[in-house]
Amino acid sequence: MEYQRRRSRSLLLDVCILLLLPWVVIAQKKTPAIFIFGDSLSDAGNNNYIRTLSKADSPPNGMDFPGGYATGRYTNGRTTVDIIGQLAGLKDFLPPYLAPNATGSLILNGLNYASGAGGILNSSGYILYGRISFNKQLEYLANTKGQIIAQLGEEAGMDLISNALFSSNFGSNDYLNIASLLVRIYHGQLTRLYNMGARKVVVASVGPLGCIPFQLTFRLSKNGECSAKVNAQAKEFNAGVFAMVKQLNAELAAAKFIYADAYKGVLEIIQNPAAYGEGPRLFFIFFLMVFTGFKVVNEGCCGAGDSYKGVIPCSSIVRLCPNRFEYLFWDPYHPTDKANVVLSTKFFSGTAYTWPMNIEQLLMS
């Protein structure tokens, strides 16, 4: 019990520091360029620039982002990759690839290619019309690579890319009941990323999708219980991704792929939300919002449709929950800024959520 109490307090101190970001930045030996691929969990606003039904460019999305405006991120503040970038030493948030200002020397810090509704398969997310698949995001990286080499020259440009951090999160929009096919395609796509010069790559698992408010509504959950069927599909896909990461490290020279276990990280919050609220109380608002812990883990803060708020996504016409800092989920699908801080802490410096090393160790390797 005493060990668990000390462990909780240690985690809470880390989380409290992170909640003060971007005002507090944890400096690293050297700030790398960072390139982000993924879906709406990582999108920084690319979908603002395409014709799609999947957008998060209206308030109250972004209300806790620096400046308090909707950026296109599907949360009230920052995504996990935003926070990891801050931990790695980036002074500014990475711009989306499609933003008009994503040119010139700015791209030398990295770019965000992620797109809401994007997937491993080109067809994934088609119901929402416009989206940027992983294959298309890789094409965008090829364009960026050419621009970097044009600015720095071949040797310096490839050096920047080989020392950069790459992050990939896909699967949430794909059809997980075809897990083996998805993993085979994903393997080829990540090999393509390696062949363009990437060496340090974080590959995130999918979370417990059977626990998100959308699935609770869709599956007519009783008492907020997660869908065992959907979670089983997620775990099957994740097992394939973990094996794929091991295989990529074995077969690609100098490759350093790591697996980030989002499933475990989110499920721990769901199963024991009060664990993030123990410890001494401090007299700063950012600390207090953490020490009160999570209280609602089966309902979206900004959504509508039923008791789980799992039908209608967040928008200005949807009623906001009274205290978003108590919620795990921001909307029917995505975590809150506070939840993303907890997850980022686990991935960046934790010892039980990444394999074969954490992100901090990867950056220093």
Q: Give catalytic residues, as residue numbers.
A: 40, 331, 334
Residue linked to tokens 């950056």? 363
Contact 349, 358 (CB under 8 A): yes
Nearest to 14 by CA among 83, 64, 62, 67: 83
The 3-state secondary structure of 8-33, one letter per residue: HHHHHHHHHHHHCCCCCCCCCCCCCC
Rounded CA separation 43/105 (Å): 21
Cis ω before 32 (30° cut-off from 0): no
Strands 354-355 and 256-260: antiparallel
Rounded CA separation 50/73 (Å): 14
DSSP string across 64-121: TSTTS---S-SSSS--HHHHHHHHTT-SSPPPBTTSTT--GGGGGGEEE---TT--SS
Q: Which residues contact 43 (CB under 8 A, 6 or more apart)?
A: 56, 72, 73, 74, 79, 96, 112, 114, 115, 116, 118
CA–CA distance from 114 to each of 26, 210, 338 (Å)? 25, 23, 21
Rounded CA separation 234/219 (Å): 16
Rounded CA separation 339/269 (Å): 9
**Encoding tokens for residue 107?**
């791209």
Contact 327, 301 (CB under 8 A): yes
**Encoding tokens for residue 363?**
């950056």
Contact 359, 348 (CB under 8 A): yes
**Encoding tokens for residue 82?**
């935003």
